Amino acid sequence: MRMTPTLVVLVAALALCRCAREESPVPGPREAAARAGLSSHDEHAPHDAHAPHDAPEAELAALTAAAESGDVDAQVSLGRRYLSGSARLPADVGQARAWFLRAEAARPGSAAYDLGRMSQSGKGGPADPVEAVRWFELAASAGSADAMFLLAGAARSGTGLPRDDARAIALYQRAAAMEHPEALQALALAYLHGELGLTIDEAESRRYMAAAGHALQHHHR
Amino acid sequence: MHRFSLRVSAITSVALLAPISVTLAACGDSGGSPATESAGTDTDTQAGTTNSTTAPSTTAVEPTSTGTTEGTSTTEDPSTTGTTEGTTSTGTTESPTTEGTTSGTTGDPVTPEGSRAVLALLETTDLHTTILSFDYYKLTDDPSYGLERTATLIQQAREAFANTVLVDNGDTIQGTVLADYQALVEPLACADTLAMYKVMNHLEFDVGGIGNHEFNFGLPFLSQVTHTPFDVADLDLAGSDACAGPTFPQLSSNVFSAKTDATLFPPTALLSRTIAAVGPDDVPVTSTLTIGFVDITPPPILNWDKKWLDGKVYTQGVQETVPPLVEALRAQGAEIVVAIVHGGLDDSMYTPALENQAWYLAQIAGIDAMLMGHSHQIFPNPASKVPQFDLPMVDKAAGTVADVPAVMANFWGQHLGVIKTGLVYTDGRWTIDAEQTIVEARPIATTCVGGLPAACDAEQRWRTGEPCAFTGMCEAKADGTKIYVEVEPSIAPLVDAEHQGTVAYVKTPIGTTDFEMTTLFADLGDVGAIQIVNQAQADHVSAYIQANLPEYATLPVLSVSAPFKTGFAGGNDFTDVPAGNIAINNAADLYLYANTLQAVKVTGAELHDWLETAATRFNHIDPQVVTPQPLINLSMPGYNFDMITDPRVTYEIDVTQPLPPMGEKASGRIKNLTFDGAPIDLDAEFIVATNNYRASGGGQFPGLDGSKTIYASPDTNREVLIAYIKKIATLTRQDHGSAQSWSFTKVATMGPVVFSSAQNALTSAQDAGLDNISLVQQDDGSNKMLSLYAIDLAQ
């Protein structure tokens, strides 16, 4: 779902009215996990695809204010802005990492996925696959289907942890259970070609691929 | 012609004895259509569907006792005045709720205290126009899904249970090419019934719920095919009332016209049904059971179908909507209330716009049973790993939510949901006996384990006790054998014209090609099946960027794609589009997977890394070895062999360089990567069109983890390809099949470098300009109809 602009507007609105924010407290890890689980693609960069449309100054200021005052969702949002960069807010991996760490400290699981990606691809420091795995594990425990998907990728390729096909399958299945389209596709492909220790099963492959296609409709339409 | 088996004859014979006034509210009632007299069902049925003779004992009426409901609603937040008003139904005034009941009981004895009955609520959900067990893209049968098989389970349930009610939970009219065919290609006429609804009428569904995909084709279409004249801004849909459509009521209590504050569909329905029961002395008894239904549609339709709904429609949630409706149903005599919710379970903080509201709905007082859908899961399912089924108050083994029996029947007709309720008659009414209530989701397919169908118990019975659909089918079958229920033969003939029309549509040429587009030698340099995909992707992305992302407008747009079929399953497992006409099924062959188009922004260095990972498709070749060396690294699947096919780009793959150690980044194989004739600038930025799977991390390409996407299209890659082929119309090898950006670094090898491909395919290689390929063995020994070929890397 394209939640980032809505989230940003919501955050801005909350920042401008503290009392409203207190009445609707920032959800705890479990709710965030459930939300993340059910709409896992909210964490997905595609929703940052709207950021390049350069939101007005006021909106960015409101986001920054909210982040500075401790709003965890705003902190993560701002971190992503710094990571991708735009004309209004040039990329700054140091700032990105700082905001992610702050969010993560305030609410474990809120930024672990983003920190994992930075570690994995060597943003703001040398690539550290082991640390990436640690972050993804935290995020996966908090219910992030996107993190489960990347962690499964690490497990199947033995990157940052010993290769473990069974663990990859289990992670894909957990993410698939949350309708994560790419995890569903990974399973479809694994059943088609007998990957990761699975027995070839064309019917299961078709079922997963159908589910992947359908999951994409839910997340993008 | 086989006539679909109707309900237990006892009921119909009883109904014929008593002069029951039959009133089936036509689905157009919500718009205030004229009286629905007992012949109402006939006016709605189409030739060939079952008429009302089998439904004389059914009375379905919307409970718009407006005095009660409006009174209740005014105590709510004024902004929710529309909540309980629902839509007026003249069906009510013509035949008040109790009429069917009283007439029904006129000739019947009073039900004795302590009588017992069994009622099975049957659920289908998320059928997505999957009527037949057929894949329209592959143009082959597929027994693993299809309402024509679920229908067999429905029939068996109707034979096994004394009393049944059949309910569909929405997402019914969109999903397959058949749906697109009837909505867009050969738009359905007002006088005709959608194929899906024809079948559902034939199956005598009692109630249908409205899901989210119902709105995908817009309000006018939905209004027409459901013959429900919505009163919304800027649209005149009054004529829908005269259209054909379902003979069962369709409900949605929480989607409102912004213009009138009325729900688009009736919010609730009341069914009074003659049921077969047994008295306390075990003597058979007939009685009447009144069931109320309320339906919830997922509120995020306002996002998903914003373009159709913005400004016309608004939604509410279960907490605002349902309690007064349940009260009203009870007041009108509902003994049981069934909630139909097109949603799953979510205990996130409640908001009226929450996508999945079943967890909250189950907690509303007065709900006796709940039918769920939308999230395409199977519930109950003790083995499920789905987090939503581990929420508090959810029992995924028993199938209850807050002690309310609940079922979710998967999608595409793969399961039939069954809530078998025990009923007991006390104090003048029927109530549910929780101890006699069992929930299960029955599959249309299962596997054999130890000579028994896995879906049934050791006695080959369903959990609810009736003989299982697969009884005897696993005898002498090996473990793992897949078995399927038979199709219900009366279904396919009903929709033969629509099915054939859809098949013809899929086979309709959308363009021509002067060359054979195959992946037979895609691993060796033939780009004939890849380039068109890249061209389509790049074209679409470029256009989008020019129109919407000016900050990237100066960056070059490249594209990558891979051969999806490279012979893994044998000689037929290749993409192969012959020269001549290209049709939609050919496009589906060219783009096999369910992907959406995405574009990423990468540097030249990141692009280099991307191609390095792709190059692990090949084994490490030692030029000094004299024995045959297999070229293809089979642990790296062909669908991950991303390649660029662009005249602006060239690069070599040096297979004499080693593969990376486990867990390390690939490097060293990509040589002389150039762009526009010069070595690629590693710091320059490029836009690369690809798909959601690759961009999100599928295939474990370095740096591709979802963070580089600058554009995520809602369009599938296949749709993009089809549109492009239609635009180009005439494909030629010259313009669409010969941009070989990559080649192997030339090296003389002491021994042959070999690979397998389809038999008798050498001319395809030659036609593609690959002169360095020769046949080694007609049969590669794999028993998969493959030959062994060699590539001369020195050429």
**pLDDT at residue B514, rounded to an integer:** 98
- Same fold flag, B9-444+493-498 and B508-791: no
> Three-class SS of residue A176?
helix
Question: How far does A75 lie from chain B, in Å, by closest CA?
Answer: 17
B708 vs A: CB within 8 A: yes
- A11: pLDDT strictly greater than 90: no
Spatial separation of the C-alpha atoms in residues B382 and B375, rounded to whole Å = 17
Pairing of β B742-744 and β B649-653: parallel
Closest CA to B292 of B316, B258, B324: B324
Question: How far does B593 lie from chain A, in Å, by closest CA?
Answer: 7
**pLDDT at residue A55, rounded to an integer:** 57
Q: Are B124 and B416 in contact (CB under 8 A)?
A: yes
What is the DSSP-derived secondary structure letter of residue B661?
Answer: P
Closest CA to B471 of B480, B484, B461, B482: B461
Angle at B652 between CA B648 and CA B657, to 5 degrees: 155
**pLDDT at residue B42, rounded to an integer:** 33
The 3-state secondary structure of B58-85 reads EEEECCCCHHHHHHHHHCCCHHHCHHHH
**pLDDT at residue A88, rounded to an integer:** 84
B595–A52: do the CB atoms touch at under 8 Å? no
- Distances, alpha carbon B748 to alpha carbons B624, B656, B753, B773, in Å: 9, 10, 10, 14
A157–B663: do the CB atoms touch at under 8 Å? yes
**pLDDT at residue B589, rounded to an integer:** 96
Class of domain B9-444+493-498: alpha beta
A143–B387: do the CB atoms touch at under 8 Å? yes
Question: How far does A150 lie from chain B, in Å, by closest CA?
Answer: 7
B702–A121: do the CB atoms touch at under 8 Å? yes
Spatial separation of the C-alpha atoms in residues B601 and B622, rounded to whole Å = 36
Q: Are B292 and B332 in contact (CB under 8 A)?
A: yes
Question: How far does B45 lie from chain A, in Å, by closest CA?
Answer: 32
- Name the B residues in 210-249 with CB < 8 Å from any A CB: 213, 216
Phi, psi of B602 (to 5 degrees): -135, 160
Put residue B552 in one of left, alpha, beta given phi > 0 → left and psi -120 to 50 → alpha: alpha
B593: nearest CA partner in chain A: A209
Angle at B558 between CA A125 and CA B616, to 5 degrees: 65
Q: Nearest CB to A220: which of B551, B708, B714?
A: B714
Q: Are B161 and B420 in contact (CB under 8 A)?
A: yes
Please report which residue ranges of B583-651 form alpha helices under DSSP H: 584-590, 604-614
Please report which residue ranges of chain A form alpha helices under DSSP H: 4-16, 18-23, 29-38, 57-68, 72-84, 93-106, 112-121, 129-141, 145-157, 165-177, 181-193, 202-220
- Distances, alpha carbon B713 to alpha carbons B540, B547, B707, in Å: 10, 14, 15
A174–B549: do the CB atoms touch at under 8 Å? no
Q: Is the previous residue joined to B63 through a cis bond, with omega within 30 degrees of 0?
A: no
Residue count (chain B): 795
> Three-class SS of residue B135?
strand
Which residues in chain B land under pLDDT 50?
Answer: 1-105
- B359 CB burial (10 A radius; 0-12, 13-18, 19+): buried
**pLDDT at residue B39, rounded to an integer:** 31
DSSP conformation letters of A193-209: HT-TTPPP-HHHHHHHH
B693–A185: do the CB atoms touch at under 8 Å? yes
Phi, psi of B308 (to 5 degrees): -90, -30
Over its C-alpha atoms, chain A yields an Rg (Å, rounded) of 18
A85 vs B: CB within 8 A: no
Spatial separation of the C-alpha atoms in residues A153 and A170, rounded to whole Å = 12
Confidence grade of residue A211 (pLDDT, cut at 50, 70, 90) = confident
B357 vs A: CB within 8 A: no
Closest CA to A167 of A180, A177, A156, A181: A156
B304–A221: do the CB atoms touch at under 8 Å? yes
- A34: pLDDT strictly greater than 70: no
Confidence grade of residue A220 (pLDDT, cut at 50, 70, 90) = low
Interface contacts (A, B; CB < 8 Å): 160
What does the pLDDT look like over A47-100, one tens digit per residue?
333 444 445 678 889 999 999 999 999 999 999 999 988 878 899 999 999 999
What does the pLDDT look like over A97-149, one tens digit per residue?
999 999 999 999 999 999 999 999 999 889 999 999 999 999 999 999 999 99
Domain boundaries B508-791, corresponding CATH code:
3.90.780.10
What does the pLDDT look like over A148-188, one tens digit per residue?
999 999 999 999 999 999 999 999 999 998 889 999 999 99
A173–B385: do the CB atoms touch at under 8 Å? yes
Q: Are B208 and B200 in contact (CB under 8 A)?
A: yes
List the beta strands (DSSP E) in B461-607. Answer: 482-484, 509-513, 517-518, 557-559, 576-577, 580-583, 596-603
Map out the domains of chain B as residue ranges: 9-444+493-498, 508-791
Spatial separation of the C-alpha atoms in residues A32 and A130, rounded to whole Å = 25
- Distances, alpha carbon B492 to alpha carbons A73, A138, A165, B28, B246, in Å: 52, 51, 43, 27, 18
- A45: pLDDT strictly greater than 60: no
- Angle between helix A181-193 and helix A165-177 axes, rounded to 10 deg: 130
Query: What are chain A's domains?
Result: 4-220 (1.25.40.10)
Q: Which two tokens stand for residue B48?
A: 């060939």
Helix (H) or strand (E) holding B706: none
**pLDDT at residue A56, rounded to an integer:** 67
